[in-house]
Structure 1
């Protein structure tokens, strides 16, 4: 690929992005699309603006300004720690690749271009290979510049990682201390309860904990396998909630609402809402009667303790000589519980994990077919041999540039859209008892999958025949770095176009919200459901974090080999910074918090990327016969491993376990201010499995509802608390969707 073909691919994606951004800036101003682009703000009480003006149909960049002005502290107080961690991933990537771009463009790129291995042409027709390390002669004395760039990038990445890890660790500790009403801190999940012929599961739990933890045990609640009737009631409850949301939206509209035939005032939605409230007691009676017979008690329970420290200590000890019985762990947040997996017998979990691992590997092998097809499309000569009818069209320059430079990445992206749903299903089958744990597991799988198929296999699989010939050359593991060093620059054209199509274009699609936009269009203009409420989505961390980390991995491994890719990566991360902040502020709601649990995954992936960059550099210096550069690279690998070990010892335990010192202090504060009894009374309601129980009456509902009320009412400040733990001032509330027009 030459610079013209690269420009064609870049131009197509730039045009798509500009068009999508302009369309989005118009659609977001239309009242009919408010639930698509302002779902979060509407969920906390913002009102839609219905005034008709010319500005509604003129593109603008006001959303970029609002995303820029919103600080991380405001996001932390209003959306949560998980969103801040996601934003910090982008900020870290911007910082490190800014340093890498300046270093490699100023130092490495001129050395690569001035090499004399490949023939030079006019600048617009230069091939990308002349800008890579393939153009540097063997034994060149200028290879020290690549080693210097390697040191600068590695030390900069480690310093920035340390700063981010330390900062996020402090925020996690503040998140724990600021959640006094979090019921999960008092609750332990007990699984693999032994069966007894004399006692029921409930009696066994009560006797066991009364005998061993009499001073700290409070009560417990069994887990039931729900029947079909309870599932129907759950669906009915969701429908009542939707109708109630619509009635609230109707009450915000000025004027009277008339029915279509007689002109009388219609309060049908309001009547249904009141009926749902009044029938709550009746549904409870029904549940206690017919539905209870359809339930089946499982060998799992939520056990409540009087103090946080007692729950922590109980969750971390071995309760029986048989490790497969009386298994305990701290409970997830009430809204984070994945009830279906609590029914799974504990003894099946290891089998499920092995089965899902084998299924993931099988899926990765099957995915080699589209990867091989994609790499075959990047070579015009081989494409003509495989498909003779394309010889004529491929002779035209523009068609050849589009076919070899743009379409391969598009085909791969379309194939990759099947990965997240499949990985989510496999992660659910693993048996995680929390929704955040399921997403974290899916995040791991998607990350490994994309690194393997997008990076490794696209390097070694130009075609099926080429991939076999490459692997035949690998006589031992020591041959891998030289093969990577020679193969990565050869695939520079693919990685650059992949940044355009999977990076820039995917961000444009994320901003436009294609699927909700299509659903809203069908409901409003085909089925004529003018006021039908759209379910507000939570942020898809399991798909977006692997995408960011994949581009970071590509950036690290290609930095000294193909420095021309770094400016395009910087553009991607800049767009990601504004777009994701806008989506976090306006679109996605927070259903639960994991306390920033995904940051250790980010840290480990960056360390893995640095190690791979250094191993590939060893292969580069070996191929170019530069023993001095190779000798200086070995200490860098050792330093990176030692730095990772230090972070694992210093910061990672805070993410793995709760700090006993903090929990004891929180217990003392509760006892001092008389909050203990109130918390104990609400524990059962927080983890109530029955769908007839209103979320607002549970402790989980009050915990999250309190955060939302603090945003709506800027005067709702509790004396004696830090500003980070209470409501925000009016300017912050307005930014995040206080009750004002959108």
Structure 2
């Protein structure tokens, strides 16, 4: 990539961000868009925006900067506040590192004699920025000591900032646990791997007697987990008919006009997908099905409570301290019986996983790890291939018929600026759902825990495939012939080629923070989806609320993506300090835009 392509990528991304920011300022001032741009405030029963309706393009920046940590917790919870501690910590690491590395290392590199940089431009690098990196310093030069000292400085700053962040997060957690507004899960623990019931004893009697013996003064009651598969099936069918009934009644009410006060009753077919079968009155049909399903549900619930009890239970205590202490204590000599953990939030429980035995979970976990390892390995092949293939030099070699097209300056500039980065982003977008499914298959008891597990898998994937795969894969492709001729020099050849990949990551980070955060701020996709659903699909208030519900920040992909940027910036911060301002922009913009999102 030459300097013109780099500047084109950077400039275009910046223009897109400015346009998206202006769109946000305009669209967020429209009352019809309030539920998209101010969902948290509306859910809390507050006015969509404080002060006058007119907003200049930078009002949101002032609101985001002036919001406090208490505001974030009240609007979005402690998890979001911890995420902002993470962003602030990384921003602090990069700012403190940049204050020393940029004025110290850039002049050291720029004033040294260039070592054949003009020849490296043919390999897809550009000398103008490489002159500001360690690649411009002669081998065995005393100036290299400055880069060694820079490495120690970055390490010290990172460890210090992480220590401060750990203390802050510990304080936030302690404050949340001691808050006067208690939550039901703070009084409960989750018990799994309960041994078989003795003859003449029910599962509930077994659990109650066991915990009364261990916690005689603090035990309150227990709730045995049941196999609710059939109950859930009936419940979902019942809820489906209730929603369909509410929708049909809303359509019927809309059809009543002055000219036709009796209206038109909606009808539907009862066959496959409503396309075939007998035509019925929707309202009457739904009422009939609801009346049929309610007694069926009640009967199945009684049967489930009596005959489908599982080897798991939720145990409640009369004090929060007792529950917290019990969750951290052993309750049996054998590891695979009476396993106790903190109880998840009720809405987060994955009930179907609670019945899994200890060794079943261990085997499932091992199988999932093998699948993830194979996925990482086989994904590395196409990503490494794509990263090498999408450089123009390699495209000309492998696809000669494209030469007349890619040799045109305008097309060449655009392809070099965006093609490799977009190809990489598309590959990464395909993975998160698959990893979340695998995490749930391990037998994890809660949704939040499954998200955390998927996030860890996605992090390993991004580091091994994106960072290492792109870096080593691209370098191997460029130096393959030299390695064939001089196999003993593979380390030095790779070391010589690696700094050139900093240019790829510069544009990758710029694309992520300008375009990615621009789309996050403008909320164009949720806005379009909301208005389409409102216009064509939503007929009831419940359907409308479901259409604009804000959801979480998407931690399963957001945190690993941020960690990838941290690794890229920290690893190249000493080799090519010019990457540090891009990292500061990424996390600074991220803090600002997400602060705005969660505070409204």
TM range, normalised to the smaller chain? 0.7 to 0.9
Matched, 1:351 2:375: no
- Report the CA distance shift for 1:47/1:106 in structure 2 as closer, same or farther (over 3 A): closer
Query: Using the alignment, how far apart are the partners of 2:390 and 2:161 within structure 1?
Result: 37
Q: Please state how far the C-alpha of 1:580 moved relative to its aligned partner.
A: 0.6
Q: State the Cα distance separating 1:455 from its structure 2 match.
A: 0.7
Q: Match of 1:291?
A: 301
Report SS of the residue matched to 1:367: helix
Change (3 A) 1:373 1:128: farther
Offset at residue 125 of structure 1 (A): 7.3
SS in 2 for 1:406: helix
Query: How far apart are residue 162 of structure 1 and its match?
Result: 1.9
* Cα deviation, residue 85, structure 1: 1.2
Q: How does 1:331-370 map to 2 (within 5 A)?
A: 331-370=343-382
Task: Tell me how far 1:485 sits from its aligned partner.
Answer: 4.6
Q: How does 1:217-256 map to 2 (within 5 A)?
A: 217-234=219-236
Q: Which residue does the alignment assign to 2:417?
A: 405
Residue 514 (structure 2) aligns with: 504
Matching of residue 100 in structure 1 with residue 114 in structure 2:
no
**Does the Cα contact within 8 Å between 1:372 and 1:464 map onto a contact in 2?**
no
Inter-partner Cα distance in structure 2 for 1:569 and 1:164: 19
Q: Deviations over 1:449-478 (max 9, x none)?
A: 1111111111110277568789999999x9
Name the counterpart of 2:130.
Answer: 129
Match of 2:73 in 1: 76
Q: How many residue pairs are counted as aligned between the two chains? A: 556
Q: 1:309 to 1:573 in 2, by over 3 A?
A: closer
- State the TM-score, normalizing by the size of structure 1: 0.68
Cα distance in structure 1, aligned partners of 2:483 and 2:567? 23
Matches within 5 A, 1:308-323: 308-323=320-335
Match of 2:313 among 287, 301, 305: 301
**CA–CA separation in structure 1 for the residues paired with 2:146 and 2:245:** 66
Deviation, structure 1 residue 378: 4.7
Q: CA RMSD in A?
A: 3.7
Aligned-pair CA distance for 1:10 = 0.5
Q: 1:134 to 1:464 in 2, by over 3 A?
A: closer
Identify the residue that residue 570 of structure 1 maps to in structure 2: 584
Measure how far apart 1:583 and its partner are: 1.4
Determine the C-alpha separation between the residues in 1 that align with 2:454 and 2:438: 8
Please report how far the alpha carbon of residue 339 of structure 1 lies from its aligned counterpart in structure 2 after TM superposition: 2.1
Show the 5 A alignment for 1:35-434.
Answer: 35-47=35-47, 60-118=57-115, 126-179=127-180, 181-196=182-197, 198=199, 199-234=201-236, 260-262=256-258, 287-293=297-303, 296-434=308-446
Aligned to 1:542: 556
What's 1:646 paired with? Answer: none
Distance 1:406 1:40 in 2: 35
After superposition, the Cα gap between the structure-2 partners of 1:241 and 1:314, relative to the gap in structure 1 and judged at 3 Å, is: farther
Query: Contact 2:226–2:304 at 8 Å: present in 1 too?
Result: no
Could you tell me how far apart the structure 2 residues matched to 1:187 and 1:162 are?
31
CA contact (8 A) 2:87 2:591 kept: yes
In structure 1, how many angstroms separate the alpha carbons of the residues matched to 2:38 and 2:140? 59
* Separation in 2, partners of 1:464, 1:182: 55
Q: Deviations over 1:223-276 (max 9, x none)?
A: 11213443442575599799999x9xxxxxxxxx9875149899xxxxxxxxxx
Distance of 1:126 and 1:328 partners within structure 2: 60
Q: Deviations over 1:120-157 (max 9, x none)?
A: 78x99744332221110012122222123223322222
- What does the per-residue CA deviation read over 1:162-187, in whole Å, with 9 as the maximum and x for residues that have no partner? 22221221221111111552332321
After superposition, what is the alpha-carbon deviation per residue over 1:51-92, rounded to whole angstroms, capped at 9, x for unaligned?
xx9x77x86222222111101232234432211111122212
In the TM superposition, residue 299 of structure 1 has moved relative to its aligned partner by: 0.8
CA distance in 2, matches of 1:306, 1:63: 45
Unaligned runs of 5+ in 2: 264-289
Deviation at 1:200, TM superposition (A): 3.1
Q: Secondary structure at the match of 1:219?
A: strand
Partner residue of 2:496 out of 486, 497, 516: 486
User: Displacement of 1:396 after TM fit?
Assistant: 1.9
- Secondary structure in structure 1 of the residue aligned to 2:191: strand
Contact 1:409–1:502 (8 Å) recurs in 2: no
Q: 1:452 aligns with which of 448, 459, 464?
A: 464
- Judge conservation of contact 2:521–2:597 (CA < 8 Å) in 1: yes
* TM-fit CA distance, 1:96: 1.7
Q: Residues 197 and 584 (structure 1 numbering): CA distance in 2 closer, same or farther, change over 3 Å?
A: same
Q: SS of the residue aligned with 2:310? A: strand
Contact 2:348-2:448 within 8 A present in 1 as well: yes
Structure 1 residue 328 displacement after superposition: 1.4
Task: Quote the Cα distance in structure 1 between the aligned partners of 2:555 and 2:391.
Answer: 35
Select between 349-358 and 97-106 the one with higher mean Cα deviation: 97-106
